[in-house]
Structure 1
Amino acid sequence: MAAGPFIKTAGMVALDVETGQLAAGGVGAQARCILSNLWSVMADLGLEVGHMVSATVYVSDFDSFGDLNQVWDEFFSSDDVPPPARTSVGVSALPLGAAVEMEFLFYASQLVLPSERERSGRA
């Protein structure tokens, strides 16, 4: 969803792009799947990590939060770009029985999304 220069994702759970099924594994494995899927979407839209402003992470098992942090650090380890602000929320349940769900906010003032290019006639 785009609103001016802001792009907001819906909550993302760890869906396997091949099968559409929830990826196997706990918080760490599912976080890795979500972030891998996000990186693919970012590439398709021309977004970079530096465009990411914030992330909200919903976790059904806070005892596994260390696993989430380990994966988070794998994806946000650059010294050049700080990681986004992150809010983590413990919940009792998530869609499809997922262990983790994430949503993201991007700021990309110069980005023209594919749907906007089509409406404006820009190539």
Structure 2
Amino acid sequence: MRKIVATTKAPAAIGPYAQANIIDNLVFTSGQIPLNPETGQLVSGGIEAQTKQVFANLSEVLKEAGSSLEDMVKTTCFLTDMNDFATVNEIYAEYFPKGVFPSRSAIEISKLPKGAMIEIEAIALIK
């Protein structure tokens, strides 16, 4: 059975897609960019602030789905500059204090919506 996930605590979709879909005990998120959910605007402060906002948005979508960051099993990170990878890695690791990391791919791309520097999508378990 398929269920669509929607929360006002994360940015609304800016196109024809859902924030996430639940299939059985898995949640598949759409890519989250660093938009402030209250204003719909890109956060300022460079890659550090943008990465933290992406995780805040992912956390809210996963929470609405009955999951959490700890339950992520796979992420795909899109960066507009691979030179930011080390900084993203440092921040990324902070969200997994138990050292149980999801599988991950990281890809440099030329452009993201709204001029974002980072986008992350995830697959997570629902316990």
TM-score by length of structure 1 reads 0.79
Aligned to 2:71: 51
**Could you say which structure has the higher helix fraction?**
1
C-alpha distance 2-46 of structure 1, shift in aligned 2 (>3 A): closer
CA contact (8 A) 1:57 1:103 kept: yes
CA contact (8 A) 2:52 2:91 kept: yes
Task: Give the deviation of 1:38 after TM superposition.
Answer: 1.8
- Identical positions, percent: 31
CA contact (8 A) 2:27 2:65 kept: no
5+ unaligned residues in a row in structure 2: which ranges?
1-20
Could you list the structure 1 runs, at least 4 aligned residues long, displaced by more than 3 angstroms after superposition: none
Task: Give the deviation of 1:42 after TM superposition.
Answer: 2.7
**Could you say which structure has the higher strand fraction?**
2
| Rg (Cα) greater in structure | 1
Partners of 1:58 and 1:9 in 2: CA distance: 14
Encode CA deviations 1:15-69: one digit per residue, 9 max, x unaligned: 1122111111322211100101222333333313342110000000111111101
Partners of 2:115 and 2:58 in 1: CA distance: 20
Aligned to 2:57: 37
Aligned to 1:118: none
Total equivalences in the alignment: 107
- Using CA pairs below 8 Å that are at least 6 residues apart, which structure has the higher relative contact order? 1
C-alpha distance 14-73 of structure 1, shift in aligned 2 (>3 A): same
Deviates more, 1:23-32 or 1:38-47: 38-47
Aligned to 1:10: 30
Partners of 2:70 and 2:110 in 1: CA distance: 32
Secondary structure of the residue aligned to 1:83 is coil
Aligned to 1:84: 102
Read off the aligned partner of 2:28 and give its amino acid letter.
K
Partners of 2:36 and 2:64 in 1: CA distance: 18
Secondary structure of the residue aligned to 2:76 is strand
